[in-house]
Amino acid sequence: MKFFVDTADIADIKELAATGMVDGVTTNPSLIAKSGREFKDVIAEICDIVPGDVSAEVVATDFDGMVSEGKKLMAIASNVVVKLPLTWDGLKATRALSDEGGKVNVTLCFSTNQALLAAKAGATYISPFVGRLDDINIDGMELIAEIRAMYDNYDALKTEILVASIRSANHVRQSAIIGADVATLPPNVLKSLAVHPLTDKGLSAFLADAEKAGIKV
């Protein structure tokens, strides 16, 4: 499973990219607004750091506006993926941009039917928001399992499942078991995947024994 980091913080992206754990980046207007910088400048810098796909979201809501903004975003760098909302105009724009060779991440997916429409529209990625479903007492991981099963029924559907709104390491584990293609993680969740209390306990014991034995390397 690929890991994308869900942030526009350049320092975090550089740190995590250096580990080799980051395959791409997802952003949105809210994340970039926190940086206080020009939108296109932030996207361009992220694209220079990460060779993988970088999702950049349009702010238009009509078909013509989304296509126009999408083309501007695609011109920033070859690894830009245009992020479009799962609305009817968004689906139409997905088809238009994908037909021109662009990559599209269809976001704000909350149902299997929506995921089917996005795939038929030519989306590169579909982004189901598991955490937001959990917030309203709907099992977000059940949606991931349904989309995986549905896509696997049809060889013609090439859209990758990009699990979004991940809140915990458990979301990552379940996504990987189900067979999602990508998980986009906040930096703190990605770092938490390496943490286990027994690892810390074992390391402390090894270091204590090494000190008693006077072992030096």
Q: Single out the catalytic residue among 40, 71, 83, 158.
A: 83
Q: Is 83 part of the annotated catalytic residue set? A: yes
Using CA of residue 46, residue 48, residue 53, residue 55, what is the dihedral sign?
positive
How far is it, in rounded angstroms, from Cα 171 to Cα 176? 9
Q: Which long-range contacts (CB under 8 A, 24 or more apart) does 145-149 make?
A: 145/178, 146/112, 147/112, 147/115, 148/178, 148/179, 148/180
The closest of 23, 93, 22 to 57, measured between CA atoms, is 93
- Say if CB 128 and CB 110 are below 8 A apart: yes
**Which residues belong to the active site?**
83
